[in-house]
Amino acid sequence: MLIADTIRSAISAHRDTIAQLDALVPEIERLAKMMMETLERGGKILWMGNGGSAADSQHMAAEFVGRYVKERRGLPSIALTTDTSILTSVGNDYGYDYVFARQIEALCTEKDLVVGISTSGNSPNVLRAIEAAKAIGATTVGWTGEGKGKLGELCDMTLAAPSKVTARIQEAHILIGHILCELVDDANTPD
């Protein structure tokens, strides 16, 4: 394929995926309300994922703790993907499947909302952490691709980006994340 065709093909697939997000408006609105309720009751928002979804987790926690656009108080949110000492010790001593679950056990309360980001919906370390969060009584949310995977069966709610391609799914996830930031900003700033 010509290089320009590869570029156009990626842009076109991205556009198709993003265009289909209109169907998710009610679910995005529902998740925004769940996040606002979590923060109002003194809970925090925890994020996890692997690879690009680890980067998304960190990106989202930074938007909450720092700021998105508007000036507002810092909002409690933690990416479970960042502490290399925890990740390597838990990975080394218990196995990679437990790197997020152990942090959930240590940090999560029933007031919290836990977001597991997995394009396949089947990453074992994310699944184990969601199981741990459910055992604690926290609210659980999955961001997946269109297949939803096992995460879709486990979580209280799932946002399934309408694509089977990891990169396109990730691109939809970060748009959804930014929309959520805007809604949470609006709820935490005076008119």
Ligand X SMILES: O=C(CO)[C@@H](O)[C@H](O)[C@H](O)[C@H](O)COP(=O)(O)O
Q: Phi and psi of 141, rounded to 5°?
A: -135, 135
Draw the binding track, 116-155, toward Zn ion (x: CB under 5 A; -: no contact): ----------------------------------------
Positive or negative, the CA dihedral 83, 88, 89, 93 is positive
Amino acid type, 148: K
Q: Collapse the DSSP code of 67 into the 3-class scheme (helix H, G, I; strand E, B; otherwise coil) and give the result.
A: coil
Tally of CB atoms within 10 A around 45? 25
123 binds ligand X (CB under 6 A): yes
17 binds ligand X (CB under 6 A): no
The label of the residue with tokens 């900003």 reads: 185
What is the closest distance, in whole angstroms, from the C-beta atom of residue 123 to ligand X in the complex?
3
Give the length of the chain: 191
Draw the binding track, 29-58, toward Zn ion (x: CB under 5 A; -: no contact): -----------------------x------
Which residues lie near Zn ion (CB under 5 A)? Answer: 52
Which residues lie near ligand X (CB under 6 A)? Answer: 50-53, 118-120, 123, 166-167, 170
